[in-house]
């Protein structure tokens, strides 16, 4: 058995400091993904999406350890967020949001192992939306990110600073979806103590 891999500790994209906006290049990665729309606090698709992602992620982990002799720490929940009107994030108009929930998987995980893990869950009693979970690569490239500590509803001022001050000052403009990485378990962590990486893919403004 090879040593257990924890990608949070080795990938630069999972490092961020509170109060620091940082430019970095994020390599392509593969994720388990499930899509939805609407206010995550009330959307049943959001909770059932999370409820499908993690059982499959853990089934993949155990299959990798058993079949390949390679173990890894299951990665945190992440989300891509977008809206027709980008100001919906600063104004917190959650009903206007669309989203993709994600869990990163290691590069050695092949599609047949994922499908075998999915079938194992189906035999045991599949969680809702299991069949909606897909596997896809995410290519973000140059990004700006920072660490937010506190309630999700308090992200607005930091996002405004990123978009209205930092990007223009560095000759950048946003491209792609707003990306959040939930370092804290939102079910068990008080809102004021939640740690969330906020990431925005960017490109030169001209």
DSSP per residue, 36-97? EES-TTT-HHHHHHHHHHHHHHHHHHHHHHHHHS--BPPPPPEEEEE-SSTTHHHHT-GGG-
Compute CA distances 8 → 69, 74, 170, whole Å: 20, 9, 28
- Residue 1: per-residue pLDDT: 75
State which fold the 7-204 domain adopts: Multidrug-efflux Transporter 1 Regulator Bmrr; Chain A (3.20.80)
Which pLDDT score, from 0 to 100, does residue 126 have?
83
The region, left, alpha or beta by phi > 0 then psi within -120 to 50, assigned to residue 38 is left
The per-residue pLDDT for 90 is 65
Low-confidence stretches of the chain (pLDDT < 70) are 86-91
pTM to 2 decimals? 0.94
Helix (H) or strand (E) holding 157: helix 156-161
């Amino acid at each position: 058995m090879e040593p257990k891999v924890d990608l949070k500790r080795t990938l630069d994209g999972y490092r961020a400091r509170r109060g620091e906006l940082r430019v970095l290049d994020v390599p392509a990665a593969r994720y388990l993904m499930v899509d939805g729309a609407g206010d995550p606090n009330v959307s049943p698709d959001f909770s059932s999406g999370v409820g499908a992602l993690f059982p499959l992620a853990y089934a993949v982990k155990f299959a990798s350890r058993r079949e390949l002799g390679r173990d890894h720490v299951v990665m945190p929940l992440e989300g891509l967020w977008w809206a027709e009107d980008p100001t919906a994030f600063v104004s917190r108009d959650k009903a206007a949001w669309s989203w993709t929930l994600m869990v990163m998987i290691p590069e050695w995980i092949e599609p047949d192992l994922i499908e075998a893990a999915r079938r194992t869950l189906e035999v045991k009693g599949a969680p809702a939306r299991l069949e909606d979970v897909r596997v896809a690569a995410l290519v973000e490239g140059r990004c700006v990110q920072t660490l937010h500590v506190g309630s999700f509803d308090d992200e607005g001022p930091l996002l405004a600073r990123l978009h209205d001050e930092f990007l223009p000052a560095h000759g950048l403009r946003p491209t792609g979806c707003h990306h959040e990485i939930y370092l804290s378990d939102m079910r068990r962590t008080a809102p004021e103590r939640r740690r969330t990486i906020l990431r925005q893919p960017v490109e030169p403004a001209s």
